[in-house]
Amino acid sequence: MNNFTYSIPTKVYFGKGQISHLTELKESGNKVLLVYGGGSIKKAGIYDTAMKLLADAGLSVFELAGVEPNPRIQTVRKGAEICKKEAVDMVLAIGGGSTIDCAKVVAAAAKYEGDAWDLVLNPGLITGALPIYSVLTLAATGSEMDQFAVISDMTKNEKWGTEGECLKPKMSILDPEYTYTVSPKQTSAGTADIMSHTLETYFTNVEGAAVQARFCESILKTLIQYGPIALAEPDNYEARANLMWCGSLAINGLCKGGAEVAWCVHPIEHELSAFYDITHGEGLAILTPFWMDYALNEKTAAKFAEYGRNVWGVTGDDDMEAAKASIACTRDFFKKLNLPSTLREVGIGETHFDIMAEKAVKGCEGAYVPLTKEAIVSIYKAAL
């Protein structure tokens, strides 16, 4: 196990009615920028509830609405401009990971004199941010409890992740009831996203990180149990609560600390979203089994077999056979969630494979299995 530092300053209020704690935002000042996506939070009544609580706390509210599913840098710039013009004290995101990601970079850009895109391309420029708060409405990215954000510039077909310790939310409210109205498609995609976060950490070359591996396996088994239940019973509180907490724990550093490894499926998928604007979780569900096919060899078979035996209940002493069975189980589970299994199903052909692979390979250095541009192209082609 590697040396590591673990610090999660985010205060989490988990459960029914916890939105009442929004009044605590007054600790950070008097002016708040409310960031949200479409009209779903208004239809669900969350917007009205939040506005009343913020008013009761004596806060002046400015709004940045219309955050995209793959948040755009243009929207970030609008938010940063509001913050600077109105001397906003804090940023509150109500929504899923895209909304929270947008709010994070807005909060950092509000403290930066240059263009917000600089902070995406060069995380080292992020040296401060306004206090960030969130109310989560979708179990997926884990952005409510981590230091990461992913922003796109579709005019350049670019989608990049950035990070900074100051991007960790000060407080996040997680009410599983707010996810009851999440569509079947987004429920499935969110489950796949959480699963991918966990797998990207689980497959590491660091030896002796047994605790981290067991954490990962418990998260994966919980997703496998409750993902289908949430699909069949959208208002099942137990299922929604477990998915929501899995989303946070998968990426808040608990599983990764001491077992660090560069992610690879995410950079490969980010190119799909950058060029085709597809749903991130669907892209991950398509690519993950094909990455597994590529990564499986005599050296990695034991780890894939461990995954199969501990997560899927695969039996048999032959590691290679158990490994292949684990990959088959992964494919079957994504199909059970009604997720696409090929790129053609989401309208993607070979047109941009070379340029996408060339960009993706930059983010794959230090991955579990070394990846070249040619290897990534082969994964794209296999996924057709």
The CATH number of the structural domain formed by 11-178 is: 3.40.50.1970
Question: CA geometry: angle at 147 spanning 166 and 226, to 5°?
Answer: 145
Percent of the chain as helix, strand, coil, to the nearest 5: 55, 10, 35
pLDDT of residue 289: 97
Give the total residue count for the chain.
Answer: 384
- In this structure, the strands spanning 132-136 and 171-174 are parallel
Indicate if the pLDDT at residue 363 is higher than 90. no
Taking every pair of Cα atoms in the chain, the longest distance, rounded to a whole number of angstroms, is 65
Tens digits of residue pLDDT in 12-35: 999 999 999 999 999 999 999 999
Tally DSSP H helices, then E strands, for the chain.
14, 8
Indicate if the pLDDT at residue 333 is higher than 90. yes
Read off the pLDDT of each residue in 306-310 and give the average, rounded to a whole number.
Answer: 97
Q: What is the 3-state secondary structure (H, E, C) of 326-354?
A: HHHHHHHHHHHCCCCCCCHHHCCCCCCHH
Q: Global pTM?
A: 0.94
pLDDT of residue 200: 96
Decide which of 3.30.70.1520, 3.40.190.10, 1.20.1090.10, 3.50.50.60 is the CATH code for 184-382: 1.20.1090.10
Tens digits of residue pLDDT in 154-196: 898 889 899 999 999 999 999 999 999 999 999 999 999 999 9
Same fold, 11-178 and 184-382: no
Domain spans, the chain: 11-178, 184-382
